[in-house]
Structure 1
């Protein structure tokens, strides 16, 4: 029984499950904005960045061990599940409330009632960014002949996170008619992208840990320092 839990198949399924949960949580929690102080500097961010932080190092770990095809399959699965979650959530929001409901429309709607524009922006940004991450990771691996895992992880993450931020912000907020032109969107992008790039660097040891754990005792292809 315990041997099954220690198999590479189980470990892969476990990481895929955490990846999918992180994708969902990053969208559910994304509405809360938090502020912390780092070295006296106020940092304002969406708490959805916490699970978002996990998706890239998990995807890179899967890509490193199983290849680009498995990583792409994981992204497709994430997109379909994210779309399903949004669909069920929208249905839940628009269903009528019973008199005995312990939550009111004013409480439930603002938390779970995303606009169709926001939903489309979230799905498009996730899909394009993670597909780009998987592609770039594989290309850099080929260029470095399987070495320098830290390099391909950070390069692919930088590109993926840049695509994610630009696609989501422009699809969700670009509206010249209301004064939200390109300049306004760029102002939104800069702090979020800067924080994501810092998190990408912090991600590096987690990628190494994820690859090592995923491979377990099978380190035949472990020359990736």
Structure 2
């Protein structure tokens, strides 16, 4: 098994089979769906020294992994394949919203007493998923575009500048869009709390990216060696409105 890494332009890959692309894509979509279903709607608090109680969205614990995987996809496989994964995630979130609406709307059996709890947990999912889809699309495309462009500018050096720099842009866009669309005017989400959570979410996401940089380096290096390629998006069409690789 070759460990040699060959520099290639993204367009030269075409339909070349890749060993681990499907696995990274599946992980990306799974993290995206679960972080939005299980974490996005809950506002939690932690006691911080000096600062006191600090609110944050529970999804922050896992959602940033999606951006880490997005960085890995773009760095290893190029913008076009990352774009394909983003659209796959978008379609999965759309179906999740439709499925949650159908399941909640179905009339419960007369002897089943869980409808109220079910509605409390999943009744707000369509609004959250709509906000997530808009924020996700803008944020992920911004993240992937910045990383791909910076890879060319830096000639493939200093990966940490690309992962952190693209995350600052992508997560900034995501946070500015998601919380107002998802929670503005919602019960238990006063504006002050929403803004505090928005700020803390952005800072924590970027912080997560910084902390996970060694992991990103390890995964990116391992994938590049196993795939035998280092992809550069020179000549790539950066429009988000296509799925062709």
TM-score tier (shorter): 0.7 to 0.9
Q: Is 2:42 the counterpart of 1:52?
A: no
- Gaps of at least 5 residues in structure 2 are 1-16, 232-245
**2:132 corresponds to:** 122
* Equivalent residue, structure 2, for 1:13: 22
Offset, 1:38: 5.8
Shift of 1:198: 1.0
Cα 1:214/1:156, change in 2 over 3 Å: same
CA distance in 1, matches of 2:102, 2:19: 34
1:36: how far off?
Answer: 4.2
Aligned to 1:62: 73
Aligned with residue 32 of structure 2, among 23, 38, 41: 23
1:110 paired residue among 106, 120, 126: 120
The DSSP-based 3-state class of the residue aligned with 1:145 is coil
Map 1:80-119 onto structure 2 (within 5 A). 80-101=91-112, 103-114=113-124, 116-119=126-129
Query: Deviation of residue 206 (structure 1)?
Result: 2.0
Q: 1 or 2 for the larger relative contact order (CA 8 Å, sep ≥6)?
A: 2
TM-score, length-normalised on structure 1?
A: 0.82
Aligned CA-pair RMSD: 2.5
Higher helix share: 1
The verdict on how the C-alpha distance between 1:220 and 1:91 changes in structure 2, with shifts beyond 3 A counting, is: closer
Measured after TM superposition, the shift of residue 85 of structure 1 is: 0.9
Tell me if the contact between 1:24 and 1:82 (Cα under 8 Å) persists in the aligned partners: yes
Give, in angstroms, the shift of residue 115 of structure 1. 5.8
User: Normalization by structure 2: what TM-score?
Assistant: 0.76
The answer to whether the 8 Å contact 2:55/2:197 transfers is no
**After the TM superposition, which parts of structure 1 deviate over 4 Å for at least 4 consecutive aligned residues?**
36-43
Give the aligned partner of residue 194 of structure 1. 203
How many residue pairs get aligned? The number is 210
